Amino acid sequence: MSLGAGSLIADKVRLVRLLGSGGMGHVWLADHLGLDTQVAVKLIAAEHAAIPEAVARFRQEAAAAAKMKCPHAVQILDYGVQEGCPFIVMELLEGEDLAHRIQRAGPLPVAFVGDVITQVCKALSRAHALGIVHRDIKPENVFISEDQGERLIKVLDFGIAKRRGDSELSMTSTGVALGSPYYMSPEQVVSAKTVDPRSDLWSLGVVAYQAMTGKLPFVGETVGALAIAINEGTYEPPSAARPGIPGAVDAWFQRALVKDLSARFQTAKEMAETFALTTGRSAGKEEFGEAETDVAPCPAAKLDCVDNCPTVRVSTPLLELHGVPSPPEQAPVAALSGTHMTATVSQRLDRSRTPVVWGIASAAVLLLAVFGIGLAFALRNGAPAADVASQGQTEPAPGSPALTEPQPTVTPFVQVPETAPDPAPSASAAPSAPKPAVAKPRLPVPPRPKKDRGF
């Protein structure tokens, strides 16, 4: 039976008009008579309706999407077969897919692409947790809806999604490729049967590159040439492909588009959070429902954002991205209050205070030798030594004998190198100056992470 405008599906959904067609079927605008609302209905193409493998994959799409129950995946309302023609009833989306947005607007702002990455990663994180690998992440399957300034991004078409551990359905007879070649990972080019969630992350990396630069990272005049280019993994850095893209973003793509699976981002959550940190999007952690963590600079070659780790490594270019020069070797790094980051602070004693502290210690030795009883009285009734050292005071405590002019043989200021080790105690040696008490700086304690709402 040929279904068309006016046809009634499952006695409750009436087809209104055709919205679009794809390789596997057609999508219609329809009225849901029972719910009094408009929905979208996907019908399998007539040429595939008689092929068991195609029908099984069509049903698999409905089942995979229905299990998602995620705001970033299209909602499935019903599935069935109408006179031999399988159908899927799903929510009606208003907006456009990412492919049309790129075609209409050209290269998109880094912040916009970051929002796409964040929301798509939430959908992928949910799918991967269910053991589902999408295997066809591309701009056409990323849908953008905007309402009153709020942007909602959804992942579409789980038609070739595969649950890990399930047997692979051969698509040779239907002629449908398992994925779009330009967005395939190197391992998917070799075999779509053994891919894992990290293949989806590669595909999202290609989508992000195209959205940000307006061009694909890997191209070829033939499918074979494209496969070679993907396998070699050589592409133009985004900052060179499009002026205005921060150089720090290049390091993120080095993790997203690396052939070595162990070096690639391991989870969708890690991928999204690292991009947020790399681009300085402070709202990134809040979007994933987590508290901010301390961030310490590390070599630019690594962006190791690991799940549930209290310290996140961020490359040195991130500091430069915020207008803060990279710290010199061995120099203390101050806290970056404007970027919600806390760097490591050196606990060494300031050089400018060393002569004063040792001068006070020398004066204390002189007082101990000449005015032993008076000094004991002063220490019992005067200010603590730690306060004297921290305030840089040299006056004796109230009630102690006045300090006479120092003897010529005493050097009031002694410069001691920072790296000199403390002398070992000796019973025969003359009593040395007591080491001043200096309070160590206290590092800030990160707030307790909030409950993860994003994943």
Can you tell me the distance from the alpha carbon of 219 to that of 208, in angstroms, rounded to the nearest whole number?
16
Under 8 Å between Cβ of 218 and 229: yes
Percent helix, strand and coil across the chain, each to the nearest 5: 35, 15, 50
φ/ψ of 331, rounded to 5, equals -90, 145
Can you tell me the distance from the alpha carbon of 78 to that of 62, in angstroms, rounded to the nearest whole number?
8
307 an active-site residue? Answer: no
Of the listed 11, 97, 115, 136, which one is catalytic? 136
Under 8 Å between Cβ of 285 and 292: yes
Under 8 Å between Cβ of 249 and 154: no
| Long-range contacts of the stretch 109-116 (C-beta < 8 A, 24+) | 110/212, 110/245, 110/246, 110/249, 110/279, 111/279, 111/281, 112/211, 113/208, 113/211, 113/212, 114/275, 114/276, 114/279, 114/281, 114/284, 115/151, 115/153, 116/142, 116/144, 116/153, 116/207, 116/208, 116/211
Can you tell me the distance from the alpha carbon of 447 to that of 443, in angstroms, rounded to the nearest whole number?
13
* Of the candidates 157, 449, 432, 407, the residue with the CA atom closest to the CA atom of residue 292: 449
Q: Which residues are tagged catalytic?
A: 136
